């Protein structure tokens, strides 16, 4: 079977690693990198660390408005489909790369396979939610990470070709956490951060908050962005903040108090796993980081009103917070009752890559 896979952003690189390894055992995969994430720390390092095959095509789209970015991807992907004549096209998640790939294939009557289908935050103001819904409704096989995702699709009348494969990010975490521990244990993690960023205050394991902020709903609103940084500056532990290049650019013009906040360059996947695993708590607006924290049994506070990963909310392993200074401080500094409870196996057994391959090759009929 010949398959085109579309990737373009950090979470997609993470998901692509176990699938590519499994699928390429008996099939042909053409890997297309849209270039949506193009900074070396947001792209190249993931290919190196996770052993992802070198992309066959790189569209080099870069940043831009949603319309311009999606249109450039659509044009480039269409040309590749016409040249390669694949049996199908696979997309991951909810980025503009996802939607562009699905649209290009669907209009050329090429089957579309959507990994992470069925997620819903029920907030259509989020571009990610729009991308998810549109992609799901033109996909031929919908590869869901959880039973909640299957139920969401059923509510929308989508039942054909729907398969619960488990979460492929869980595969990647299980495959790499020990590698991360061996590579960055014994203080190597801190030395690496200093080497990349210069001297910072001494951090100790389990005595820092690990934060990320990149969602447009937070970064494009100056009041929200200022509230997040005000809350961070008043927390009872230092906040380690690997900052997305786009967010860094946005705060440069604001009068932001960086007291208690340690801003560093984006880090690679293995170091990020180590930082998540050894943080007191993760504070984020990222969907992927919510899950990685859950998989590694690190409590999380999500800086959003809703989450597509509702499973992480059980027993308060993850807690949502509105973008209000006092609410963020209260939620982050809450008593961690979650550690008293076992986690249910909501995301599968860590064999999603194999199940996704089987579903695609079998035509999506496994669970019909």
- Report pLDDT digits (tens) over 236-281: 999 999 997 778 888 887 878 888 999 999 999 999 999 999 999 9
Does 364 have pLDDT greater than 60?
A: no
Give pLDDT, residue 312: 97
The average pLDDT across 354-365 equals 87
* DSSP track, 6-69: EE-SHHHHHHHHHHHHHHTTTSEEEEEE--SS-SGGGTHHHHHHHTPPPPSEE----S--HHHH
Reduced to 3 states, what is the DSSP secondary structure of residue 92? strand
- Report pLDDT digits (tens) over 110-159: 999 999 999 999 999 889 999 999 999 999 999 999 999 999 999 999 99
How many CB atoms sit inside 10 A of residue 44's CB? 14
The average pLDDT across 184-205 equals 96
- Report pLDDT digits (tens) over 28-64: 999 999 987 655 555 678 888 988 989 999 998 877 7
Tokens of 269: 């996947």
Q: Catalytic residue, from 33, 37, 114, 214: name it.
A: 214
Could you give phi then psi for residue 317, rounded to 5 degrees? -60, -35
Read off the pTM: 0.91
- Report pLDDT digits (tens) over 320-345: 999 999 999 999 999 999 999 889 88
Residue 272 burial by CB count (10 A; 0-12/13-18/19+): exposed, middle or buried? Answer: buried
Query: In sequence order, what are the beta bridge partners of 114?
Result: 91, 142
What's domain 2-167+348-361's superfamily in CATH?
Answer: Glycogen Phosphorylase B; (3.40.50.2000)
Domain boundaries, the chain: 2-167+348-361, 171-340
What's domain 171-340's superfamily in CATH?
Answer: Glycogen Phosphorylase B; (3.40.50.2000)
Q: Is 37 a catalytic residue?
A: no
How many helices (H) and strands (E) the chain has is answered by 15, 13
């Amino acid at each position: 079977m010949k398959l085109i896979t579309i990737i373009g952003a950090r979470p997609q690189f993470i998901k692509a690693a176990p699938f590519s390894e499994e699928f390429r055992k008996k099939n042909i995969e053409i890997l297309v990198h849209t270039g949506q994430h193009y900074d070396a720390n947001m792209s190249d390092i993931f290919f190196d660390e996770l052993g992802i095959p070198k992309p066959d095509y790189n569209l080099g789209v870069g940043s831009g408005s949603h319309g311009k970015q999606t249109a450039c991807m659509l044009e480039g992907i269409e040309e590749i489909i016409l040249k390669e004549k694949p049996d199908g096209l696979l997309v991951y998640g909810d980025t503009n790369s996802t939607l562009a790939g699905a649209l290009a294939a669907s209009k050329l009557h090429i089957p579309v396979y959507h990994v992470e289908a069925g997620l819903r935050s029920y907030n259509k103001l989020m571009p990610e939610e729009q991308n998810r819904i549109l992609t799901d409704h033109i996909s031929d096989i919908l590869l869901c990470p959880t039973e909640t995702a299957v139920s969401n699709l059923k509510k929308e009348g989508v039942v054909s070709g729907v398969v619960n494969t488990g979460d492929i990010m869980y595969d990647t975490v299980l495959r790499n956490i020990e590698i991360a521990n061996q590579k960055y244990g014994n203080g190597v993690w801190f030395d690496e951060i200093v080497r990349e960023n210069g001297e910072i205050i001494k951090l100790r394991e389990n005595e820092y908050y690990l934060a990320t902020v990149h969602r447009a709903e937070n970064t494009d609103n100056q009041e929200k962005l200022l509230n997040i940084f005000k809350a961070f500056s008043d927390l009872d532990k230092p906040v380690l903040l690997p900052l997305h290049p786009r967010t860094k650019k946005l705060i440069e013009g604001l009068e932001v108090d960086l007291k208690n906040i340690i801003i560093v360059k984006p880090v690679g996947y293995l170091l990020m796993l180590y930082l998540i695993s050894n943080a007191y708590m993760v504070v984020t607006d990222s969907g992927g980081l919510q899950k990685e924290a859950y998989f590694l049994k690190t409590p999380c506070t999500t800086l959003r009103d809703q989450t597509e990963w509702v499973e992480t909310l059980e027993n308060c392993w993850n807690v949502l917070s509105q973008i209000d200074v006092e609410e963020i401080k209260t939620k982050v500094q809450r008593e961690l009752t979650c550690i008293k409870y076992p986690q249910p196996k909501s995301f599968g057994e860590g064999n999603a890559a194999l199940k996704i391959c089987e579903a695609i090759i079998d035509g999506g009929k496994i669970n019909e």
